Amino acid sequence: MAQFEEVSKKSKLHPKPVGLVLQYGTAGFRTNADHLDHVMFRMGLLAVLRSINTKATIGVMVTASHNPEEDNGVKLIDPMGEMVTPAWEVYATQLANAEQDHLITVLKDIIQKESVDMTQEAHVFVGKDTRSSSARLSEAVLDGVTALHGHSKDYGLVTTPQLHYMVCCYNTQGGYGEASVEGYYRKLSQAFIRITKHVPNRTDDQKCLLVDGANGIGALKLHEMEPYLQGELQVSLFCDGTSGKLNYQCGADFVKVQQNSPKGIDMKAGERCCSFDGDADRIVYYYNDDQGRFHLLDGDKIATLISTFLKELLTQAGLDLEIAVVQTAYANGSSTRYLEETMKLIVRCTKTGVKHLHHVAQEFDIGVYFEANGHGTVLLSKAAEEKIQQLCNDSDGERQRAATLLKNSVDLINQTVGDAISDMLLIEAILAIRGMTVQQWDAIYTDLPNRQLKVKVSDRRVIETTDAERKTVSPAGLQEAIDRLVGKHQHGRSFVRPSGTEDVVRVYSEAATQESADALAHEVSLAVYRLAGGVGGEPKPL
Ligand code: 16G
Ligand code: MG
């Protein structure tokens, strides 16, 4: 077929470095931008197949999120705006790793396995972050789409969650909103204004927020959105990309890992700040107290604020909907205890990686999911949304008011994926309604001190886990060793897992004091080093 000849010809313009092997990891391919041209071209091809296969528009986002500027990566987006299904991650890996003269064979294999009818039309949305390599790499994606005669729409510079949103809006024929960046700004900001304009006496302090844009796409897009917010939120944007380097000493990942504020930011005591990551799908909040001590409000604190708020509204609205919070093993033990024991909420734990949380959250009427690192959102079942909508016309004033507030909050949420901009607006709206300061939010519960370390081993696949990564089953003796060490520390908890994005084993610990958490993490790291084939000297901090 002429299509394949064209692919063959064009693929030579996007040659694969011989022998290079890459893996579609937890969140797509990610590595140094110089090695990705062929991957991008091929993901363009794969997106065409996936589009025909699902009879819908597919998204391809060029980004390496919180990685350094020199890296890049790509994430595939399925029709409802969710991450691509695992079977196709396998195809993505096969296609990316096929040597040049095998490319067509691998392509035809996928076509055959999935019975893709190549006479059908394909539609692909493409987006990119602000990395210097993103322009040329997204061209390579578009080239791939064209080579297989697919139609493409280039959204240019967008955040990852914005592209997820566009895909969902388009495939639901506008049912979720308008598939344009302006449509996204309008939907979110109008919902925000509908909520906050009913809050009496909001002070300037409550309206002002310091935002670290990680010198990336989130800064650019938040700046673009500001006029739509009509002064209801007054953002002071720093790390806005005008001078600093992407993700360098700033951004959500830096803040979470270092447990410190971005470099060079001037925070007054008590001032509310938040950081986005490099593609704006994560957010964390923080402030300095009067003694200049730094306080982090991570994904667990965010999930607590949101789920508590939603639960109260459900009670006020008299709606009997099942609400659950989905976390990973990284969730601070204090948050889990607070949610289960004080708030009486259902809490579920899943493996690390957004798609795992997303799927579990879908099992409930309302599923609030957050990773401790700040990636998360809220999902509502169709039935739940309809019940809320119906109640908005209820004759009982109290119930009607609660339902309307719920409806407006739902409109603020990007349900396709964690979204720093949307999460930020939801958090700001909740704080405004409750008249709550960042300190009061922080005081809901106190985090147990914790520590993360990483250990280099010769093959991290020797570590096998179970029970949502909370226990190891191999190598032999490791779990027993961890249990023994944990037993020596008050409120001790620790687990280890092979990273999905880096060639290391990650170690997490928490305990009653920081010294104790540090000691536990160190002791467990040594056990990993000893029992799992450690290499390259002592274990290092994350
Ligand atoms: C990716 C995941 C994130 C996870 C992290 C774990 C997505 C969009 N992102 O960034 O959810 O927390 O990997 O990394 O799924 P690790 O396996 O190296 O610890
Ligand atoms: Mg990200």
pLDDT of 537 > 90? The answer is no
Pocket test for ligand 1, best of 352, 359, 465, 469 (most atoms within 8 A of CB): 352
Q: What is the pLDDT of residue 16?
A: 96
Q: How many CA atoms lie within 13 A of 5 on its CB side?
A: 2
Residues 333-385: pLDDT tens digits? 999 999 999 999 999 999 999 999 999 999 999 999 999 999 999 999 999 99
Ligand 1 and 66: CB distance under 6 A: no
* Confidence tier at 534 by pLDDT (50, 70, 90): confident
Structure tokens at 182: 């302006």
- Pick the ligand that lies closest to the CA of residue 354: 1
Asked if residue 407 lies in contact with residue 364, where contact means CB atoms within 8 angstroms, the answer is no
The average pLDDT across 496-505 equals: 90
Ligand 1 and 500: CB distance under 6 A: yes
407 vs 386: CA distance, rounded Å: 10
Q: How far is residue 342 from each of residues 3, 220, 334, 335, 457, measured CA to CA in Å?
A: 61, 40, 11, 10, 41
284 vs 302: CA distance, rounded Å: 8
Asked if residue 305 lies in contact with residue 378, where contact means CB atoms within 8 angstroms, the answer is no
Q: What is the pLDDT of residue 399?
A: 93
Spell out the alpha helix ranges (H) of 212-322.
217-225, 251-258, 299-317
Ligand 1 and 3: CB distance under 6 A: no
Catalytic positions: 65
Which 3 state secondary structure label does DSSP give 113? Answer: helix
Residue 346 neighbours by CB under 8 Å, 6+ apart: 322, 323, 324, 325, 364
* Confidence tier at 58 by pLDDT (50, 70, 90): very high
Which 3 state secondary structure label does DSSP give 12? Answer: coil
* Confidence tier at 27 by pLDDT (50, 70, 90): confident
Q: Whose CA is nearest to atom 2 of ligand 1?
A: 353
**Sign of the torsion formed by the C-alpha atoms of 11, 15, 16 and 18:** positive
Q: Which residue has the higher pLDDT, 430 or 19?
A: 430
Q: Is the peptide bond before 227 cis (omega within 30 degrees of 0)?
A: no
Q: Across the chain, which distance is largest between two alpha carbons, in Å?
A: 71
Count of Cβ atoms closer than 10 Å to residue 94 Cβ: 17
Structure tokens at 215: 């010198």
331 vs 153: CA distance, rounded Å: 38
The average pLDDT across 517-527 equals: 96
CA of 78 to the centre of ligand 1 (A): 18
Residues β-bridged to residue 294: 288
- Pick the ligand that lies closest to the CA of residue 376: 1
Q: How far is residue 396 from each of residues 13, 82, 293, 389, measured CA to CA in Å?
A: 66, 37, 47, 14
Q: Whose CA is nearest to atom 9 of ligand 1?
A: 27
* Confidence tier at 503 by pLDDT (50, 70, 90): confident
pLDDT of 1 > 90? The answer is no
350 vs 346: CA distance, rounded Å: 13
- Pick the ligand that lies closest to the CA of residue 164: 1
Ligand 1 and 373: CB distance under 6 A: yes
The average pLDDT across 82-94 equals: 96
pLDDT of 123 > 60? The answer is yes
**Pairing between β-strand 471-474 and β-strand 283-288 as defined by DSSP bridges:** unpaired
Pocket test for ligand 1, best of 31, 354, 358 (most atoms within 8 A of CB): 354
Q: Whose CA is nearest to atom 16 of ligand 1?
A: 499
Q: How many CA atoms lie within 13 A of 39 on its CB side?
A: 30
127 vs 70: CA distance, rounded Å: 18
Asked if residue 418 lies in contact with residue 161, where contact means CB atoms within 8 angstroms, the answer is yes
Helix-strand-coil percent breakdown of the chain, rounded to 5?
Answer: 45, 20, 35
* Confidence tier at 111 by pLDDT (50, 70, 90): very high
Residues 288-317: pLDDT tens digits? 999 999 999 999 999 999 999 999 999 999
Asked if residue 291 lies in contact with residue 270, where contact means CB atoms within 8 angstroms, the answer is no
Q: Which of 58, 60, 52, 53 is nearest to 36 (CA)?
A: 60
* Confidence tier at 538 by pLDDT (50, 70, 90): low
Q: Which of 97, 162, 103, 100 is nearest to 129 (CA)?
A: 162
Count of Cβ atoms closer than 10 Å to residue 483 Cβ: 12
The average pLDDT across 511-537 equals: 93
pLDDT of 541 > 60? The answer is no
CA of 217 to the centre of ligand 1 (A): 19
| Residue with token string 């986005």 | 276
| Residue with token string 């092979």 | 498
> DSSP code of 338?
I
Residues 443-463: pLDDT tens digits? 999 999 999 999 999 999 999
76 vs 57: CA distance, rounded Å: 11
Which 3 state secondary structure label does DSSP give 339? Answer: helix
Q: Which atom of ligand 1 is nearest to the CA of 355?
A: 15
Asked if residue 39 lies in contact with residue 22, where contact means CB atoms within 8 angstroms, the answer is yes
Residues 173-230: pLDDT tens digits? 999 999 999 999 999 999 999 999 889 888 888 899 999 999 999 999 999 999 999 9
Q: How far is residue 379 from each of residues 65, 335, 357, 368, measured CA to CA in Å?
A: 23, 20, 11, 6
Q: Which of 303, 294, 288, 290 is nearest to 334 (CA)?
A: 303
Q: What is the pLDDT of residue 182?
A: 98
Residue 289 — φ and ψ, nearest 5°?
A: -85, -175
29 vs 8: CA distance, rounded Å: 22
Q: Whose CA is nearest to atom 19 of ligand 1?
A: 499
CA of 282 to the centre of ligand 2 (A): 6
